[in-house]
C-alpha cells in the first residue's frame, strides 16, 4: 500500500493506493453516518466491498447522468436520511460518480465530509485526485462545479480487475500523459513494465497508479486553481479535445493522438528530440492506444480555432520539454495547423 498527502487551500487529502485499499472505508467513516453514491455497474460488481452500515444510492451511467438533476436526487436522499454536516458522502465508482458525489457533498449544507473510492484507472490517477468536481450543464462539460479536496481517496487496484479493456486504455492515456509531463523515471518504468501492467499484475499497477497520482497531486498542490502549473495536466488535450469532437473517438484515444501531434510541436520548436517523440509513440502503441485518428484534419483545425483558450493569433498551452517535463508556451495557429496536417 502506498500513501500520499495532498495539501491545498481547499483542504488536505490522504491518498492510499493498493490492493484492498477500499477496506479503509470503514475506518474513514469513523463512526459517522454515511451515504454511498455509486453506479449500477460498480454496485453490481463490487457491493461486497462496500462498508457496512452505510446507505447506498445508485446514479445513472454516462455523461448524461452527470447533471444537476442527479445532484438534486442525491440532495433528496440526504434530506430523507436527515444527514447533517457531520455526515459523510462516499463516492465509489468512476470519474462520473466521483464528480457528482464531490459536487453534492460540497454544496449540501455548504459542505459535508467526502471520501472517494475511485474504481476506474482514469478516476484513480486523474478524476478523484485534485479536488475538482462538477457536472455538465446544457451540453457544456463540467460547466458547474467547485474546488474541494476529499478527505481521503482510496484507490483499490483490485477493483480494476473487472474494468473493461477499453476503460483501462482510457486511463492509460492519462497515465502516459502524467509521466510525460512530470516524471521521466515513471515514464521509463512504464516502458519497462507495460506488458505486466496490461496483464493486470498488481505490483506494477500499484506503482504506476501511485506514480501517476503523485505527479498529479504535486502539480495540484503547487497550483490548485489552475493559474499556471496545473495547466500542464492539459497536455495532449488541446488537440485531443478537438479530435474528440470531430472523430467521435473515446477520450483516451483522442488524447493519445493529441499527445503525438503536440509532441511534434515540441520537436519543431526544438524543445524535444525526435527520438523522445518516438519513445512516446511507441509506448502509446504498446498500451493499445492510437497515435493518430482517421478524421478530417481541417475539421480538427476548425474545432481548435473555436477553442476558448485561443488568444490573438496563438494558443497558450503546455508542450513537452523532453520526456518528464512540460512548459506552458504560446503556439501559433500556423504551428498548430502544421502539426495537425502532418498527423501520422
Ligand atoms: N474532476 C476531475 O479533475 C476530472 C478529471 C478527469 C476526468 N474527470 C471526469 O471523469 C469522467 C470520466 O470518468 P471515467 O472514465 O471513470 O468514466 P465513468 O465514471 O463513466 O466509468 C466508466 C465505466 O466503467 C464502469 N466502471 C467503473 N468502475 C468499474 C469497475 N471497477 N469494473 C467495471 N466497470 C467499472 C462505469 O460504470 C462506467 O460504465 C468524465 O466525466 C470526466 O469529465 C474529472
Ligand atoms: Zn483527459
SS (H, E, C) 52-118: CCCEEEEECCCHHHCCHHHHHHHHHHHHHCCCCCCCEEEEEECHHHHHHHHHHHHHHHHCCEEEEEE
- Residue 319's beta-bridge partner residues? 327
pLDDT at 308: 59
CB of 210 shorter than 6 A to ligand 1: no
Phi–psi pair at 322, nearest 5 degrees: 80, -175
pLDDT at 143: 97
pLDDT at 306: 82
pLDDT at 309: 55
Instruction: Kindly give the distance from the C-alpha atom of residue 225 to the centroid of ligand 1, in angstroms, as a whole number.
Output: 22
CB of 142 shorter than 6 A to ligand 1: yes
End-to-end CA distance of the chain: 40
Positive or negative, the CA dihedral 60, 65, 69, 75 is: positive
Instruction: Kindly give the distance from the C-alpha atom of residue 268 to the centroid of ligand 1, in angstroms, as a whole number.
Output: 35
What pTM value is reported for the model? 0.97
Quick one: DSSP state of residue 51? P
CB of 167 shorter than 6 A to ligand 1: yes
pLDDT at 314: 79
Instruction: Kindly give the distance from the C-alpha atom of residue 142 to the centroid of ligand 1, in angstroms, as a whole number.
Output: 14
From the centroid of its chain, how far is CA 97? 13
For residue 182 the three cell numbers come to 512530470
**Nearest-CA residue for atom 2 of ligand 1:** 127
Ligand 1, atom nearest to 162 Cα: 32
Question: Which mean pLDDT values do the consecutive 10-residue runs of the chain (344 residues) have?
Answer: 96 97 96 97 97 97 98 98 97 98 98 98 98 96 96 97 97 98 98 94 97 98 92 97 95 98 97 98 98 96 78 84 97 94 92
pLDDT at 227: 86
**Nearest-CA residue for atom 32 of ligand 1:** 163
Instruction: Kindly give the distance from the C-alpha atom of residue 95 to the centroid of ligand 1, in angstroms, as a whole number.
Output: 4
Ligand 1, atom nearest to 129 Cα: 3
For cell 493522438, what's the residue? Answer: 257
Alpha carbons 211 and 52: distance in angstroms, whole number = 31
Run of H or E residues at 318: strand 314-320
Residue 101, number of CB atoms within 10 A of its CB: 30
**Nearest-CA residue for atom 39 of ligand 1:** 61
Alpha carbons 330 and 269: distance in angstroms, whole number = 11
Amino acid at each position: 500500500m502506498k500513501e500520499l498527502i495532498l495539501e491545498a487551500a481547499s483542504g488536505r487529502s490522504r491518498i492510499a493506493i493498493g490492493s484492498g485499499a477500499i477496506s479503509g472505508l470503514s475506518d474513514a467513516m469513523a463512526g459517522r453516518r454515511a451515504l454511498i453514491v455509486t453506479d449500477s455497474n460498480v454496485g453490481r460488481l463490487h457491493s461486497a466491498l462496500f462498508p457496512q452500515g452505510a446507505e447506498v444510492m445508485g446514479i445513472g451511467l454516462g455523461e448524461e447522468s452527470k447533471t444537476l438533476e442527479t445532484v438534486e436526487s442525491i440532495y433528496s436522499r440526504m434530506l430523507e436520511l436527515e444527514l447533517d454536516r457531520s455526515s459523510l458522502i462516499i463516492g465509489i465508482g468512476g470519474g462520473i460518480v466521483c464528480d457528482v458525489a464531490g459536487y453534492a457533498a460540497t454544496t449540501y449544507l455548504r459542505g459535508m465530509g467526502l471520501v472517494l473510492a475511485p474504481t476506474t484507472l482514469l478516476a484513480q490517477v486523474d478524476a478523484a485526485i485534485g479536488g475538482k468536481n462538477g457536472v455538465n450543464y446544457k451540453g457544456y462539460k463540467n460547466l458547474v462545479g467547485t474546488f474541494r479536496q476529499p478527505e481521503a481517496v482510496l484507490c483499490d487496484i483490485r477493483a480494476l480487475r473487472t474494468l473493461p479493456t477499453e476503460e483501462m486504455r482510457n486511463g492509460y492515456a492519462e497515465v502516459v500523459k502524467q509521466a510525460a509531463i512530470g516524471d521521466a523515471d515513471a515514464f521509463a518504468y512504464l516502458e519497462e513494465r507495460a506488458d505486466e501492467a496490461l496483464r493486470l499484475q498488481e505490483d506494477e499497477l500499484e506503482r504506476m497508479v501511485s506514480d501517476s497520482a503523485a505527479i498529479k497531486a504535486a502539480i495540484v498542490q503547487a497550483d490548485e486553481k489552475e493559474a499556471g502549473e496545473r495547466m500542464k495536466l492539459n497536455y495532449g488535450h488541446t488537440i485531443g479535445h478537438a479530435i474528440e469532437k470531430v472523430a467521435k473517438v473515446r477520450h483516451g484515444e483522442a488524447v493519445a493522438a493529441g499527445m503525438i501531434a503536440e509532441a511534434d510541436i515540441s520537436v519543431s520548436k526544438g524543445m524535444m528530440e525526435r527520438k523522445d517523440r518516438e519513445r512516446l509513440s511507441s509506448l502509446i502503441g504498446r498500451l493499445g492506444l492510437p497515435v493518430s485518428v482517421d478524421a478530417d484534419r481541417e475539421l480538427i483545425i476548425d474545432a481548435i480555432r473555436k477553442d476558448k483558450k485561443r488568444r490573438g493569433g496563438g494558443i497558450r498551452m503546455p508542450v513537452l520539454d523532453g520526456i518528464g517535463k512540460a512548459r506552458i508556451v504560446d503556439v501559433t495557429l500556423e504551428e498548430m495547423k502544421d502539426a495537425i496536417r502532418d498527423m501520422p
